Copies of this chain bind each other. A is one copy, B any other.
Amino acid sequence: MIELRGKAVADALKEKMKTFLDQVDELNRPKLAIVRVGERPDDLAYERMVLKNCGAIGLPVQVEAMSEAVATEELIGTIQRLNDDVAVQGILMFRPLPKHIDEQSVIESVAVEKDVDCMNPENLQLRMVSDERAVAPCTPEAVMRILEHYGYELEGKNVVIVNRSTVIGRPLAIMMMEKNATVTICHSRTRNLAEITSRADIVVTGVGKARFFGPEYFNENSVVIDIGINFDEKGSCGDVDYEAVAPKVAAITPVPGGVGTVTSSVLLSHVLPQAFY
User: Footprint of B on A, CB under 8 Å?
Assistant: 121-122, 124-126, 128-131, 155-156, 158, 164, 166, 170, 173-174, 177, 180, 182-187, 189-191, 196
A125-B125, A170-B128, A170-B129 given; A187·B191 CB < 8 A: no
Number of identical monomers bound together in the oligomeric complex: 2
User: A191 contacts which of B124, B170, B182 (Cβ < 8 Å)?
Assistant: B182
CA of A170 to CA of B126, assembled, Å: 13
- A185-B173 in contact (CB<8A): yes
Chain B residues whose CB sits within 8 angstroms of the CB of A166 once the complex forms: 128-130
Minimum CB–CB distance from A135 to chain B (whole Å) comes to 14
CA of A130 to CA of B128, assembled, Å: 11
Minimum CB–CB distance from A156 to chain B (whole Å) comes to 4
- B126-A189 in contact (CB<8A): no
Apart from A125-B129, A129-B166, A177-B185, what are 11 other A-B pairs with CB-CB below 8 Å? A121-B131, A124-B129, A128-B128, A128-B166, A156-B189, A158-B191, A180-B187, A180-B189, A182-B186, A182-B190, A184-B184
Minimum CB–CB distance from A206 to chain B (whole Å) comes to 14
Minimum CB–CB distance from A70 to chain B (whole Å) comes to 29
Chain B residues whose CB sits within 8 angstroms of the CB of A130 once the complex forms: 166
Chain B residues whose CB sits within 8 angstroms of the CB of A125 once the complex forms: 122, 125-126, 128-129, 131
A128-B125, A129-B125 given; A174·B184 CB < 8 A: no
CB<8 Å pairs between A and B, sample of 15: A125-B126, A125-B128, A128-B129, A128-B170, A129-B170, A156-B189, A156-B190, A173-B173, A177-B185, A180-B189, A182-B184, A182-B189, A182-B191, A183-B185, A184-B185
Minimum CB–CB distance from A108 to chain B (whole Å) comes to 13
Chain B residues whose CB sits within 8 angstroms of the CB of A173 once the complex forms: 173, 185
CA of A156 to CA of B130, assembled, Å: 28
